[in-house]
Structure 1
């Protein structure tokens, strides 16, 4: 869903008769909605059943996709994309369902496989979306999303068993509202700061206001009897370090998505661009997702034998090495493919490890909420990457015709920063306990899919 509109983003101002600034909200709305609602849907899943909330999110995704498919103006499209963003919480819920219904010995491999679908979905979806956008009307993209979301709903309804595990208690409405307001303010400031100006009153106000709201929210959560997010658990060393490392991995992964397409598509007369079409550039990024998918059983075995800590350290280190190579190798198409593949290797190991580290460190009754918060940390890392990389690429440009093309230095600084951030993630992971306290996982009674 996140990469669905990437191929048509440059054309949206013309297609919808709107400004480029308004068109960027087609991407931003999905990101914001996912960041806000993922921990909320996780908490609801812990309380009322993860399968039930998964079905609800998929239904919302279907509705959002239909709204987008029927949209004729940017406001309606943004609303539909926000609804699609709500549905992205199914990933964290799906991983949490695995803990409830699988034997512990099968859990690691299953988590690694599900985590890898994040990469292969984007890697395969981007060239497919580019082909459809070039061949058909852009609305077809969203009719395809509607069909796939509806199919997922039917499959979950028919196949996924119902866990009887429930936390009970009451839903923290005040905590959800406070979390949403604070997070929206911060993510808006990060994602729009380059466009609005980092020193403008609006950007500064959002940063300060968002931080203040989240501080008050944190105090409230510590005193709440049924908090949206148990901050005492989140402050435990394994959970805290995993979430911090998740920010770095989210940053490093998104850096490849933001930088490599621009390098591949930039005209060759700039001296740095590789002159590829959007479709070819999308194909060049495919190995990243494919590697993530086929790496999942290896990552699972490594986590089982050496611990998920090792997988996270190794994954972050591989990402860092890949970007270091990119600083010196970016003059051929195969160089970009090599870097994308290396990043895919690293992210595959890291994504397989992070949910397992979280589940080992929290009680079963808190799994969905904790995984949801971890997902928010990855989203935060990606959002920061979008802002920072955007500043770097837009600050060092050559004018070719009417286009501003990033210079070689801009690409090198971007790759170097991504390498440093990934290395920081590896260092953080080194401080994770080698043998953390492992809470019980599966062996929870389940009922047939039709009795939720």
Structure 2
């Protein structure tokens, strides 16, 4: 049975704890995208092709998707502070290996180890829930969600200047230092919560989750090269379906599931998670492919020949508008409802991809797309947290919010693999991806995100949510903690 807690204990400065969590979350989100603007350079340095080097993003997201529910469960069992410190140290080690890697194989291993940092998300949500004053919890959850997206956008901007000033290896040394600092801060600043949830880790569920994700992502990424109707691709897709069904069955029957299927059946939860999955497909594909598109020499028939720094500056409006929209999302949700904000955000982000489809020939067209994209994703990410907090009892806030973030990560891994598959499926005789590949890829992403907006329309109104909760009054996410 879960021990009750009354929130922050006397003498514990929750602001200092929040600062440490902010550093950890920012470092995690930077790891998602810091390498994205320099993928072409890493491709040449590691002597590989575009499809393979894109796995530097996919491997990270895949590892994070599996690690997130496992480490959240372990933190509930043995203590969130201990597990958070361990996660940060492991991610630091992965960053060090990445800084020293000279082959794509070692680099992919390093990225998979870095992905363990995904455990920071549920642990941070749990620490906020256990240690913060009750009136600050919902707002902190919203800001945590915004940090994840904003940090990812900043990685696109910072990658170029870091490489120009310090070299490729510092894309890994800097996160290693940040993770190390956050680990030390966790040990000395973050209090150990007395809250424990007895249980065990379902390793069978973890293996099945890993299995169906790997099978699906390999099939999607290798489809153009192997052939979509080839036995290998069809076999992997069939295996993914079988393993996913087995995973869902195991989770439903387990008394300590990694992902609570009963909670997932709440109408407001599963519809929000479906929207999050589809929105994640589009969000993370931007990290890998917009910088590569901008850096392509115009002789290929598209692109602007931008430097790494220039491509980062062109993408910068995405991060800025993401932050502003995330801050305003709480106020807009309070006035118009979180569902309306989520639908609007997803529709705006979908429209941004359509701008990339039809106005990709000018820098200003791309800048306008980035403004729309940051606004849309900023509104969507923060409003999803609001809906989740409203849809579950207070004791499930951390688990439900962490699950939503994890599902977005799964969507991101799928989106990166899908975009790579589409782009590399259209190659010019020179070996450079054709412009039609990017156009098709952006179109697919637009469809995915707009489907996310349609999924958000299925979210039941707030009144229906209150009835499910038995008339409880869940708190709303504000713009700041």
Q: Is the TM-score greater than 0.5?
A: yes
State whether structure 2 residue 445 is matched by structure 1 residue 418. yes
State whether structure 2 residue 461 is matched by structure 1 residue 431. no
Change beyond 3 A, Cα 1:283–1:398:
same
Aligned match for 2:432, one of 391, 394, 404: 404
State whether structure 2 residue 141 is matched by structure 1 residue 141. no
Instruction: Kindly state the Cα deviation for residue 207 of structure 1 after the two structures are TM-superposed.
Output: 1.8
Deviates most, 331-340 or 113-122: 113-122
Do the aligned residues in 2 keep the contact of 1:252 with 1:422 (CA within 8 Å)?
A: yes
Instruction: Kindly state the Cα deviation for residue 231 of structure 1 after the two structures are TM-superposed.
Output: 0.9
3-state DSSP of counterpart to 1:274: coil
* Residues 48-59 of structure 1: pairs in structure 2 closer than 5 A: 48-59=78-89
State whether structure 2 residue 403 is matched by structure 1 residue 373. yes
State whether structure 2 residue 229 is matched by structure 1 residue 199. yes
3-state DSSP of counterpart to 1:2: helix
State whether structure 2 residue 315 is matched by structure 1 residue 290. no
Aligned match for 2:308, one of 274, 278, 283: 278
State whether structure 2 residue 354 is matched by structure 1 residue 327. no
**Could you give the per-residue CA deviations for residues 392-411 of structure 1, whole angstroms, max 9, x where no partner exists?**
43444555xx342432x544
Aligned match for 1:316, one of 346, 349, 363: 346
Corresponding residue of 2:296: 266
Deviates most, 284-293 or 304-313: 304-313
Change beyond 3 A, Cα 1:291–1:434:
same
**Could you give the per-residue CA deviations for residues 31-81 of structure 1, whole angstroms, max 9, x where no partner exists?**
221111111112223333333322221111111112222334333332222
Aligned match for 1:92, one of 112, 122, 130: 122
Do the aligned residues in 1 keep the contact of 2:33 with 2:152 (CA within 8 Å)?
A: yes
2: CA distance between counterparts of 1:142 and 1:80? 10
**Could you give the per-residue CA deviations for residues 144-190 of structure 1, whole angstroms, max 9, x where no partner exists?**
11111111223333443443332212332322222222322223323
Corresponding residue of 2:20: none
Aligned match for 1:15, one of 25, 45, 51: 45
2: CA distance between counterparts of 1:29 and 1:173? 20
Instruction: Kindly state the Cα deviation for residue 243 of structure 1 after the two structures are TM-superposed.
Output: 1.0
State whether structure 2 residue 266 is matched by structure 1 residue 239. no
1: CA distance between counterparts of 2:115 and 2:291? 23
Change beyond 3 A, Cα 1:150–1:440:
farther
Instruction: Kindly state the Cα deviation for residue 285 of structure 1 after the two structures are TM-superposed.
Output: 0.8
2: CA distance between counterparts of 1:224 and 1:346? 37
Change beyond 3 A, Cα 1:386–1:76:
closer
- After TM superposition, the score normalised by the length of structure 2 is 0.82
Change beyond 3 A, Cα 1:196–1:225:
same
Do the aligned residues in 2 keep the contact of 1:165 with 1:365 (CA within 8 Å)?
A: no
Corresponding residue of 1:71: 101
- After TM superposition, the score normalised by the length of structure 1 is 0.87
Do the aligned residues in 1 keep the contact of 2:37 with 2:312 (CA within 8 Å)?
A: no
Instruction: Kindly state the Cα deviation for residue 327 of structure 1 after the two structures are TM-superposed.
Output: 3.4
Aligned match for 1:46, one of 64, 76, 82: 76
Instruction: Kindly state the Cα deviation for residue 244 of structure 1 after the two structures are TM-superposed.
Output: 0.6
Change beyond 3 A, Cα 1:201–1:336:
same
CA RMSD of aligned residues (A): 2.7
Aligned match for 1:393, one of 415, 419, 423: 423
Instruction: Kindly state the Cα deviation for residue 110 of structure 1 after the two structures are TM-superposed.
Output: 2.3
**Could you give the per-residue CA deviations for residues 257-313 of structure 1, whole angstroms, max 9, x where no partner exists?**
344324322323445322322221111111111221233221122233443222211
Change beyond 3 A, Cα 1:23–1:109:
same
2: CA distance between counterparts of 1:94 and 1:244? 23
Aligned match for 1:115, one of 145, 149, 164: 145
Unaligned runs of 5+ in 1: 443-452
